[in-house]
Amino acid sequence: MTDTFGQRLRDALVERGPLCVGVDPHAELLGQWGLPDDATGLERFAQTVVEAVAGEVAAVKPQLAFFERHGAAGIAVLERTVAAAGAAGALVVLDAKRGDIGSTAAAYADAYLRPGAPLAADAVTVNPYLGFETLRPFLTLARDGVGVFVVALTSNPEGASVQRARAASGRSVAADVCSNVAAENAGTAPYGSVGVVVGAGQTGFGHGLDQAAGESLAVGGPLLVPGLGAQGGRADDVRRLCTGLREPVLPSVSRSVLAAGPDAAALRSAALRHRDDLLAVMPGG
């Protein structure tokens, strides 16, 4: 790859608009679609979502856990889902939130980001709370143009006890994560391949960071913003999050699109409504 992931994402956002659709086939949703809670139902679900939206939106985001719960057959479905979404032109962000140390972290990075690996995606989410440097195997691969989204600020209330705690630097832990991401992207142009995950609900807290103290979401790479729709996030929340940032911003929606299934046309229509709402309020929209 010659372009950074950040640049490829920016190009996709310009071409297809600012939306990522999650592929979250949890048991309740399979039932609502009239599908069995097994690998057969999983495949029909994932195939329908990909066929409905992957040709329309910038990215799709399979949630690894919902495939893993079906064992080896579920992982095989995930492989086919990743391949089909990429063939339709969507970037694939694998929502794994992996975080470990040493050879284990390297194995995870190899599984999800190494070109040619069966599960290789365009980007993966990772958890930095074993220490930022434990992410080095992922960050090293990001230099070759694949993407890494580092969890910084989540919307769940439990996250605050860690993410808003004060680090030795005097900044919040989340701000230190963002600072480390910015350092990884230094010298890349126009955007780096390492981004952050920031829940849409964080906008009620002044971007979730103390801006008066110089804490910033300007990391030189993309922002993945989950939580739209059923989780309470709105297009205006994303607009406020984007204010003053030049970085690519990828809002993500899952349940409020997936609830429109199993009809593919209804899924597509729900996704495009979210995309149009975001286009109306985001910078450049």
Q: Any idea which residues carry the catalytic annotation?
A: 97
Exposure letters 56-74 (e unless 16+ CB within 10 A, then b): bbbbbbbbbebbeebeeeb
Q: Give the whole-angstrom CA distance, residue 216 versus residue 208.
A: 9
| Conformation bin of residue 125: beta by default, left when phi > 0, alpha when psi is -120 to 50 | beta
Q: Give the whole-angstrom CA distance, residue 227 versus residue 157.
A: 13
Residue 115 DSSP label: T
Check: CB of residue 17 under 8 Å from CB of residue 58. Answer: yes
Q: Give the whole-angstrom CA distance, residue 167 versus residue 183.
A: 17
Handedness of CA 126, 131, 134, 136 (dihedral sign): positive
**Quick one: how far is CA 218 from the chain centroid?**
17
**Quick one: how far is CA 169 from the chain centroid?**
28
Outline where DSSP puts E strands in 43-160.
Answer: 59-62, 91-98, 123-126, 147-153
End-to-end CA distance of the chain: 29
| DSSP β-bridge partners for residue 149 | 125, 195
Place of tokens 């994402």: 9
